[in-house]
Structure 1
């Protein structure tokens, strides 16, 4: 058995071991959420200043089953408002880009390499409406900060531009509302389709173990359980 196979075997065994310490209700909830989780749509936040807005977006993503959120921190540092997230952030995979420079480019290049079509949200009238977005490739939705919106770099690198129609005097919705409207529309379209939106078996296995670990409220208890597991594993 090569090292990769051995690692997968060990992780599977650890998952089964931790399962025995979780209630049937918790196990069922995790399986139900895994079945609806997707990486076919992902969200990118660029320089969001208000913690309550960014945190509300995380809650939206979890609620709509979107697993990955990419956070670009050029000018604004990202902080989680726990009163808003209510712990939902621990079930998400957060990718943060917070180097001295080049964060937007690094994020978007990574997503393009992963096969995502970059969709910039903008109030410009020439942009597409939500029902017009093609779904033949995974989508990365780009959202900018509350005042400035997306940077020129993000708009330039985007493959498509998207707008949400407005019929009042306001120019745009609140950030978290915009994200929710987009995710509801897209998720309603992809879930009944034959598109490969569900997680792969390998992705589910990785998240299952991660979520089992996060289901233990006391980290010291988890540490003790895992230490016991590896001792038993070594003893054969």
Structure 2
């Protein structure tokens, strides 16, 4: 889990990024302008900052320069923009930004950039939590597994299957009355199915997507359709 600051003057962007990253287990702070971002940085050091370039009071590149000048650029910063030029992106990188995401931001690009950013900061890469939670996984095995992106997804699923299946209780006493209409019976089963996997994976939408074989966007729509709220479910299960 990491503390991530999202700085963007668009409420919709802040809410969307907050929802996605909260589902990944992170604590999200938001700022709608540079001054609010300054206040957050003065009070604490986020593990990662997602910083919009075009903002009404002070643009993101200027804020980045301020943090660098004042010795406050001690955390990874990922710049975001829907209108920035290549020169702007290059300048931000030269100042100290570690990555640049073009809006609209693709979900997988966002998650990959965040993971890379956290791996460079104080927070370890989140998938390595499996090693700390299960002593049977050696450090060498975990490192080797995540060092090769081409086999990452397969290795992750295999490692989970080998270490967690026995430890996670299976649903007990779940039955669907045959008297229900087919649609309602199917919804009841799917609701229980996704709730089980959400609790099992600690609320991680990425791992639930891998478990169930669904694309994350499809998974989000399905959970919304079924009325399943991951954050409330995980709190109740924990």
Q: Normalized against structure 1, the TM-score is what?
A: 0.33
* Bigger RCO of structures 1 and 2 (CA < 8 A, at least 6 apart): 1
Higher helix share: 2
